[in-house]
Amino acid sequence: METFEAIKKRVSVREYFDKQISDAELEKVLKAGMQAPIGRGKYYDMHITVIQNKDFLKKIDNLTDRHIFYQTPTLIIVSARDDGHGLDKENSACVMENMILEATDLGLGTVYLNLVIGLIKENKDVLKELNLEDGFVPIAALGIGYSAKEVEPKVHEIEVSYIK
């Protein structure tokens, strides 16, 4: 798919089939995330956790009575270690968008999940199970799976001003 086609096709999907994505698809998505630009080239300050274990997903789902990750079969958490330059959010967002576009290109559904991060950070037990190295903090979460519903992408606009 041409890059702009994937960009235009990307949409947040909030209904998924109970079917796992393939390892080959996951691998491509992860590779795309790893190719993201990272401030000061500190790839070693980033970490990606792939959660596909049904019991652990259920545990996260049970942190609230709302299905905040829409029962996606794969949940990816991007974590970062802040080296004092405060780029952890920016870096994580770059990794996220690369993964989202690759997943879209593969025909998968995705949803960026901010609410999941807040809940995971609040729950020491779940946070511990992520088994992150010291200093790493979960920053962003991505749900990926096979869309159970066709969602028409919206055309979004952001105001632009020009200084020519």
Ligand X SMILES: Cc1cc2nc3c(=O)[nH]c(=O)nc-3n(C[C@H](O)[C@H](O)[C@H](O)COP(=O)(O)O)c2cc1C
- Shortest spacing between CB 163 and ligand X, in angstroms: 27
- Shortest spacing between CB 112 and ligand X, in angstroms: 4
Q: In this complex, which beta carbon is closest to ligand X, that of residue 19 or of residue 89?
A: 89
Q: Enumerate binding residues for ligand X (CB under 6 A).
A: 11-12, 14, 111-115, 154
- Shortest spacing between CB 1 and ligand X, in angstroms: 17
Q: In this complex, which beta carbon is closest to ligand X, that of residue 24 or of residue 102?
A: 102
Q: In this complex, which beta carbon is closest to ligand X, that of residue 103 or of residue 111?
A: 111
The whole-angstrom separation of Cα 4 and Cα 41 is: 26
- Shortest spacing between CB 80 and ligand X, in angstroms: 14
Q: In this complex, which beta carbon is closest to ligand X, that of residue 104 or of residue 136?
A: 104
Q: Is the dihedral of CA 129, 131, 137, 138 positive or negative?
A: negative
| Cβ-defined contacts of 136-139 (< 8 Å, 24+) | 136/47, 136/79, 136/80, 136/81, 137/79, 137/80, 137/81, 137/82, 137/88, 138/49, 138/77, 138/78, 138/79, 139/78, 139/79, 139/80, 139/88, 139/89, 139/92
